[in-house]
Structure 1
């Protein structure tokens, strides 16, 4: 231990080894101390790898606005640490040394933990021979069995390795140290064999002796005694992993190579022989009573706690559901979970609608805000790709990735809206919000399956809860928050474009029911419902044969859920006041880019709980879907210039636009999600064929058709125009006009641009504009705001044809995100503008004087 007083702030405190200097530097970096310690302690030589590893996070504030020229003997800091930074990445330390430096830093922490574990042992032994012992010598020996031996082994190993890392030479050898460490694993074998008994003895002593209970619950360096007892088990695996890394970065002709191989062989044999599975991928934890508690499922869920959304990591064990939060820890510190609550499965119930208490008010983020955030994320992704393509600075890329993570985290937290409530028999209930009914069903089924076993109610002691929570970090199977910014560069980015899915039929139902399917895909790290078939009534073999077009945004999986429709209005879910339909089966397939990126339909079957659902799918990439292809036949309306159609029809607005809008306003203006929810693709194609053929039965067909199919036909018409309604020629000017800051200048420019449109385009645009405003007036009912409508129609009305956009960007995701936000803003500007009259617009030439 060394005295800590170099910074003049903490003269009475003592910390081991590098921690003292680290603390001084923290004080200085935070502006609390005016100068760096003038002299290095004797135990620390220039270039100390441990100090470098532990204080590297301080560099940004150390360097910010500091004059380092007067540091004198601290010059090694600039030369050593910054060599690993961006300024001199090419001359960075060898990977071998980096592995050793990191391991050495963690080894020092481990030694300190062993010291902390030994700390109460000495006074306990001293009292054991008195008339009032806290513990007997036998109990002390059982609880602290082999800790002293393990400490001495690692202290010797550290003392021998540290100078070699400090005085680094590429030819230096240290394999013999690891070989010796591995040869002493027999001590660990004895410790592991005694581990269960040690915990059991400690718990019994804690219950029977108040003095020992106080000692055991005192936190040492943020870790309680029970957690410290687990550290040696944890360390064995860490050492083995380091041997793997060292071998990877040690040349086969290096003297260390055979020694490290031997050390690894010994370590692996040891791991396979011990009676406790301590592999980091293990799925069970041993309770203090020697029982095995298996981890069944874990994942990140959004909990509604005290009216606020909180991201939790939820762990389902064989007998308990535990809700935890990852603690914020300093860099280099071992991460830990903090238990927020737990419910034994014997006490867990899913409240029926009648029993469910009133659901607390959930603040739902408007759809347009969620769509805005998705566009921002897409735009940032484009910027990251551009920086990488231009070989930009890594700091700029990291800054963009950090912003993207913040936005994706916000989306992950605020998107889920499907309630999942669990209830404790003692009256306490908890509410999660999920984005997918598939996910809710998985959690419910997993819990109910475990509850079929003979479970007993229990209460976890503080010791048991500490051990269980402490094991979560190692046991977890989901390591990262499900956002795309956490993905490695070499991971698949997913599919961008449109997935066409035909849900054909299903069989395997044991009795007749009213059946339908929903389709879910993952987007921005979570799953969302994208389409729904019609209900096929009273059947065991539904034949839907419905086609859907599903937009994919970095998607990797498709889920199909099969439901039985419930028409009993007395069975309402009080969490969301909706009728609860029964999930009959569910299944998921991976969207393999190689398999789906063909022009042909691919037929498949998903099996779920004895039910088989047949479906077909094909994929259209974003770059293909962006193309506006002129129709080869000029007799139809789709893919034909709007001026040609209006001239042929002798009308100011194309017949298809007038009829679709009229039908939507007649019976669809109050439809929830009108224009946003996809219609059945086969119905849309049927309407397209009828309009192209100018069939006399159009009006009859329109009156019988699903309203979402009619809305989809109108969107398809504008999307398939050979050039956008607002024209390729004026597109750059619209982009510049919407970016103007001065309101008067923007008004002048945007109105002048409308005047510049050809008459058929302008009249049709104004006709559509007034219709969309009328739709938005019903927002309280149909949930479609002006912003939602602008998001749907903006890219469709403005996106340039292939010839205009070609060559700007290469990546499909970039093509899609490029200018989309501006396209939405252009349409939103006109939607929010007071009514625009064609006559007034054409007559008022003096105001609109800006040349474009």
Structure 2
């Protein structure tokens, strides 16, 4: 049956008429209803042309008003519920506080009773001094608690209690009197304890009643600890007022009363000069001055022949060494004081004065390198999980593993000794990773010691107050590891920083001067380069260039030293001659500044000395690019097969000469191949080898050995393709990952056999040299692992195509590649001698296709 409805009528244009109301709401009710969202989604586009639609529209407006009112009521309800929770928590702590005051007052009556006898424990004056204003404070808080408790227990939304807090704040004058007497009360109690055994027993074990719902009926607390409770309570009450205001509606009757109470409390705290606030300072110094925190940081202490991570706090008159207590989840963290030294008693023993200490055994370098590799691999895994939107639980698990490895690295890497001594007691030894850091601590302490300081001994309560202040005073909140960094923090720079140290000015007298360079890596600073000593001058001009590898680095430090040649001034902690730091400075490595292709020249000012330097940065992905030499007559940047063919030799002349010179006079050099040579010397050697100059041998014999070692590394780095070739790179990565030793042996030997002869013979020649260098590890500190770390990324690198296809960031390059590159070279270094002839005859290893 066909519908009789005709075509739909055209919708009438929106207009005002007597028969139809306007299409837009004009009533006050509607205006209020759409206050939050003037055009609700379900009303947009309506053309209200019929009475029915107008009625429906008005119904919707009424519903919106009701919904809005309901939402406001819900929000208000939530705020009042939070208000109740805040009050309930405060009430519980108030009950504990009253019990503590009761425990403090308990011995007062019997002590007063004996004061008038022939054998008093304390005099009336001593009792009044120790317990001054405690009774008044107790009565104030008991009344407050008794009035607040029923209001919280019979809670409803209309309950008011602002007047109770206002009254409590108005009685803070009693606390002012208590605070003024606090120090005298402590001293009196301590003297009485020392002179009277009976009072000592009383004051050491006061019984505090537990809360009503607590399983513990009583706990034992010292009198000194209880005397501090009123001081702590003042700040606690102020913090609660902040919380209550946050969760009290502005139109609530309590709001102005709580505001007034907070104003009174804050004025009171200001009037007593902050010395009662453990968050900001810890009582006063012996001279009555405010004790301030000057410096703090995490240091490694040698304690009972083992390394311990400590948080060290330098105050205006005392150095305090603490450790963070382990606490269960949800509880406030606290510090435990291990020891303290008043600065008046602190001395730095000179090298000749310091007692011989037990040998500090450095952690094996290969184990430190393994930790770095693990950390980088974990970083990469975390990035992958984040990119794939992995589960937060998996990411947290990886972060935990990363923190554990970073913590071990931070604990075991420092080796620079920093010894301090208490003239009345024992010595303490810290190990630092940076001479810059050691100098900072020494200078900060010596600056404070220029003031007129007094020796003192902290009472147990004073020590408790001081240690308690550390948590909120500290400026270094987290252990300096990358896993503690926020995601949006800079990851630092990965690549090579080229630094030229030009000159220095501002020395007042002639001296033998040199500079060292430090950069941060994995949360701590490491010395990376050292200029030559410029003798007997006030204006040294070094003009020395260094190439420094950066691994997530953010800062560069320059230290200027005066060289000491007096062999009597030896540090007994590490048997090294102590050179004097003349100045030091630090700059941030801003990626936007250093990543330009041009050199950036700057000046660091340090103690009136100005050091001029230049720097430029090459990112790690840019350093993967190998530029062939434009002139085929040279050796740098020329294929190894071309060089050996031209020279009619099996191993390039440059490789043979550099290795020969290192073995002749550098094999016992500390840090050989690890310490950077002067870049200008390396470039001079490069030019001589490229030109095939007749004076090469003479120049080599006069050149600094680190420059010769650097020239060898540069030659391998500038080959058009790595010594172990681009073609075989993926196979080396797969081979080193094999688990079965026999399969790995077969694969790794077959890969060597697959190398072109010039590459293989040169590699085996270098391999045997590095093994000979490692034999001198006790002297040169270069283990097989250290050498593998230096040469692995140079001899074995992904091709540019490979790196672009698989890697996305500089951090990934380090974690994915270096780990495997080091392991490949280390495998061959740890292998028994490999013969070129035996490899080629296939008598030892059977072949498989790559």
Class of the TM-score when normalised by the shorter of the 2 chains: 0.7 to 0.9
* Farther-moved stretch of structure 1 (724-733 vs 258-267): 258-267
Q: Which runs of 5+ in 1 are unaligned?
A: 1-10, 19-23, 44-65, 72-84
Deviation (angstroms), 1:712: 1.4
Residue 525 of structure 1 is aligned with which of 482, 502, 523?
523
TM-superposed deviation, 1:156: 8.5
Structure 2 partner of 1:626: 624
CA contact (8 A) 1:287 1:467 kept: no
1:433-474, CA deviations, whole angstroms, 9 ceiling, x for partnerless residues? 222222222233333333334444444444544444444444
Q: Structure 1 residues 164 and 523 mapped into 2: Cα distance closer, same or farther (>3 Å)?
A: farther
Change beyond 3 A, Cα 1:731–1:452: same
Preserved CA contact (<8 Å) 2:80 2:248: no
Structure 1 residue 677, shift from structure 2 partner = 0.8
Rounded to whole Å, the distance in 2 between the matches of 1:639 and 1:143 is 85
CA distance in 2, matches of 1:654, 1:604: 40
Gaps of 5+ in 2: 1-6, 15-27, 47-51, 58-71, 211-220
Return the alpha-carbon distance in structure 2 between the equivalents of residues 773 and 693 of structure 1. Answer: 31
Q: Determine if contact 2:79/2:249 at 8 Å carries over to the other structure.
A: no
Structure 1's 289 and 684: CA in aligned 2 closer, same or farther, altered over 3 A?
Answer: closer
CA separation of 1:547/1:362 partners in 2, compared to 1, >3 Å: closer, same or farther? same
1:567-609 Cα shifts (integer Å, max 9, x gaps) = 1222222222221111222222333334333333222222222
Structure 1 residues 744 and 553: alpha-carbon distance in aligned structure 2, compared to 1, 3 A threshold? same
CA-to-partner distance for each residue in 1:35-72, whole Å, 9 max, x for gaps? 999999999xxxxxxxxxxxxxxxxxxxxxx999999x
Deviation at 1:708, TM superposition (A): 1.0
Identify which of 256, 275, 278 aligns with 2:276.
278
The TM-score with structure 2 as length reference comes to 0.79
Q: Does the aligned pair in 2 maintain the 1:588–1:606 contact within 8 Å?
A: yes
The alignment covers a number of residue pairs equal to 801
Report if aligned partners of 2:281, 2:290 keep a CA contact under 8 Å in 1: no
**1:404-444: CA deviation from partner (whole Å, max 9, x where unpaired):** 22222222222222222233334633222222222222233
Greater shift in the superposed pair: 169-178 or 307-316: 169-178
**SS of match in other structure, 2:417:** strand
SS where residue 208 of structure 2 aligns? Answer: coil
Q: In the TM superposition, what whole-angstrom CA distance separates every residue of 1:592-637 from its partner, at most 9, and x where no partner exists?
A: 3343333332222222222221222223333333444445555544
Shift of 1:816: 1.0
Distance 1:168 1:644, change over 3 A: farther
Q: Quickly say closer, same or farther: Cα 1:553–1:464, change in 2 above 3 A.
A: same
Once residues 351 and 153 of structure 1 are traced to their aligned partners in structure 2, the CA distance between those partners, rounded to angstroms, is 55
CA contact 1:219–1:225 (8 Å) conserved in 2: no
Cα deviations across residues 670-689 of structure 1 (Å, max 9, x unaligned)?
21111111111222233334
The alpha-carbon distance between structure 1 residues 98 and 287, as it changes in their structure 2 partners (threshold 3 A), is same
Distance 2:139 2:99 in 1: 12
**1:331–1:725 CA distance, 2 compared to 1 (3 A):** same
Summarize deviations over 1:809-835 as a string: whole Å, max 9, x none: 333222211142222111111111122
Q: Structure 1 stretch 220-229 or stretch 670-679: which is displaced more?
A: 220-229
Residues 144-190 of structure 1: per-residue CA shift (max 9 Å, x gap): 55556767777888899999999999999998987777666556545
CA gap of 1:837–1:29, structure 2 versus 1, over 3 A, is farther
Q: Give the deviation of 1:538 after TM superposition.
A: 0.5
Larger Rg: 2
Deviates most, 208-217 or 833-842 = 208-217
For 2:33 and 2:753, the matched residues in 1 are separated by 61
CA distance in 2, matches of 1:739, 1:470: 51
Name whichever of 135-144 and 295-304 sits farther off. 135-144
Cα 1:175–1:598 change in 2 (3 A) is: farther
Bigger mean CA offset, 124-133 vs 697-706: 124-133
CA contact (8 A) 1:637 1:692 kept: yes
Cα separation, 2, equivalents of 1:347 and 1:671: 41
**Maintained 8 Å contact 2:322/2:335:** yes
Contact 1:365 1:414 in 2 (8 A): yes
Q: CA deviation at 1:537?
A: 0.4
Quickly say closer, same or farther: Cα 1:184–1:819, change in 2 above 3 A.
farther
Give the CA deviation at 1:536.
0.4
Please give the TM-score of this superposition, normalised by the length of structure 1: 0.79
Could you tell which deviates more after superposition, 725-734 or 234-243? 234-243
Pair 31,713 (structure 1): closer, same or farther in 2 beyond 3 Å? farther
Contact 1:118 1:148 in 2 (8 A): yes
Task: Return closer, same or farther for 1:607/1:30 CA change in 2, 3 Å cut-off.
Answer: farther
**2:104 pairs with one of 93, 117, 138:** 117
8 Å Cα contact 1:28/1:36 also seen in 2: no
- 1:630-678 per-position Cα deviation (integer Å, ceiling 9, x unaligned): 4555554434443444445444333332332222222222211111111
| Counterparts in 2 of 1:201 and 1:623: CA distance versus 1, 3 Å | farther
Aligned-partner SS, 2:805: coil
8 Å contact kept, 2:80–2:157: no
- RMSD across aligned positions (CA): 12.4
Cα pair 2:564 2:578 within 8 Å, conserved? yes
